[in-house]
Amino acid sequence: MFSWRMVPGVIFEDEHLLVVHKPAGWNTHAPSPYAGEGIYDWLKHREPRWSSLAILHRLDKETSGVIVFGKTPTANKSLTEQFTARGIHKKYLLLTDRTGPKKEFTVQTELVRAGEKYASRPGGEIAETKFTPVADAKFAVTSAGLTMVTAEPLTGRTHQIRVHAAESGFPILGDTLYGGTASPRVYLHAGEISFTHPATGKPVKFSSPVDFDIEVRQALRTAVIGPETTNAFRIIHGASDGWPGWYLEKLGDYLLSQAEAPLSPKQQDELTRRAGQFSSRGAYHKILSRQVRRTTTAAASPQLVLGEAAPERFEIMENGVRYELSFAEGYSVGLFLDQRDNRRRLLTGHIAADFPFQPKGRVSVLSNLDHLGARGTRPSEILNCFAYTCGFSVAVAKAGVSTVSLDLSKKYLEWGKRNFALNGLDPLAHQFIYGDTFDWLRRFRKKDRVFDAIVLDPPTFSQSKEHGTFRAEKDYGRLVSAALPVLKSGGMLLASTNAADWPPEEFLADIETAVRAGERKIMKQHYVPQPPDFPISRKEPAYLKTVWLKIA
């Protein structure tokens, strides 16, 4: 068995194979360049050894269960040949609220595409599926009167189980595309896959136990959040999770609710249920407002609505890193959870497939106070502009890199120093600068001070005495232009924005224009959206945009 840092959902891994459980509601791969990552994209860019991960088969977005990825050319070639020769066997389980089959039978038809659906018509590709009633009475019929059926696809056509079940009179529960009764998910689960191991030649079988009772949104979070290292994440993300305009986060022992109005009775009931589910000590509600600058700190702060009050300061953990939060400091509680994966990238030094971040002078996490490095090389430095409470700085400092945190708020920089101390990092070994970003970028340029990496994650809108109003959509290119002269050749730029109405194509175009105007060249580029616990849908479009650039 291959050894790996624990990633939720991994069933098996060796040199050639990665076998994982895919929850319902998650695409196998990203449907478009700027959509949310599919499970394949999320895995491929997460670990260096998964950089060559290959898709060998797919599961529909609303189908849960076991899925296999290849890690080597040997595995890819062998499994492709086995799929072609029908040497790979899969078993699915489905639920239906119609009368299921009384005995085993096989359906063979020709499938053709019919708009967004598939249908059995002459002239299509042969599709064959075997259906078997579940023999165990314990599982055959649920308490809700639903029937469970085993489906074995003997061919690998798109939607074939869904089409054949519907055409046989028992459409899958939740599969409204094929006549199924509306439900929170499509109740189809890939329970088992068996094949010949590409290297050993021995038969192998992998399974994923079915759990049709688990909520779709809970299953997604369980698949991406490791509770041993992370206890802060988004539980409900607006319309994507069936709650338009309402957002709920777990922050350690507490829950934070956010909406543009006070909690409705329905939201209050759900919040109470969630508090019990996560054994939360208390829950707070924050009213989202565009006029936050005109309100007092107390009025802008989240208000206790359930359970016991949180202390003035409390801790959460993210990717094994500790951060201090507070419900008493106004509109912001101290950390933006949608940047969790970007902080992990700095912490691990792995940005994406074939995109490492190993700056010269990087030292061991175990000796991060040894700034000069083991060989006496000049230490790396990262400049974190608009640092807020220094979340990015703490992550990269844990990895042994020297940081410079720059912000227009002394209060938040002091908060950042406490975050350093929480993680056993000496704040005196790093630099914290109070001031305007544009002003200090100009000062650094005059002093010929350059950095290995620069983090640009500005607020969508801000004001300073020196440079007036900053609006991301209008001024981001100017910000990049100001940063480039203090970025080393071969250095890395992290550029991010949460300007929801700014199309990603325009965001990237502005950055690329600024790079060209600065007579620099983009060597590597990797775009990432918000993490999976902030799911993207038509009703809840993407808002966070981040691009990692290596610039010559």
Residues 6+ apart with CB under 8 A from 153: 90, 92, 127, 128, 129, 160, 161
The single-letter DSSP state of residue 223 is H
Helix (H, G, I), strand (E, B) or coil at 408: coil
Token pair for 368: 């991060």
Q: What separation in angstroms does the CA of 13 have from each of 3, 6, 50, 54?
A: 8, 11, 11, 14
Q: What separation in angstroms does the CA of 483 have from each of 431, 445, 499?
A: 18, 9, 20
Q: Strand 188-196 relative to strand 64-70: parallel, antiparallel, unpaired?
A: parallel
The single-letter DSSP state of residue 379 is P
- Strand boundaries in 303-396, DSSP class E: 303-307, 314-318, 321-325, 350-352, 355-356, 381-385
**Catalytic residue status for 60:** yes
CB 119 within 8 A of CB 111: yes
Q: What separation in angstroms does the CA of 361 have from each of 348, 365, 400, 431, 514?
A: 15, 12, 9, 17, 29
Q: Strand 381-385 relative to strand 402-407: parallel, antiparallel, unpaired?
A: parallel
Q: How many CA atoms lie within 13 Å of 15's alpha carbon, on the beta-carbon side?
A: 5
Which residue is it, tokens 């040949």? 81
Check residue 14 and give left, alpha or beta (phi > 0: left; psi -120 to 50: alpha). Answer: beta
- The packing angle between helices 410-422 and 391-398, to 10°, is 30
Environment class of 14 (CB within 10 Å of its CB; exposed 0-12, middle 13-18, buried 19+):
middle
| β-bridge partners, 468 | 464
CB 284 within 8 A of CB 255: yes
d(CA 153, CA 140): 20
The single-letter DSSP state of residue 501 is T
Residue 153 identity? P
Positive or negative torsion for Cα 385, 387, 388, 392: positive
CB 316 within 8 A of CB 325: yes
41, 60, 175, 475: the active-site residue: 60
Token pair for 375: 């060989």
Token pair for 153: 């696809």
d(CA 281, CA 268): 16
d(CA 545, CA 552): 22
- Give me the active site residues, please: 60
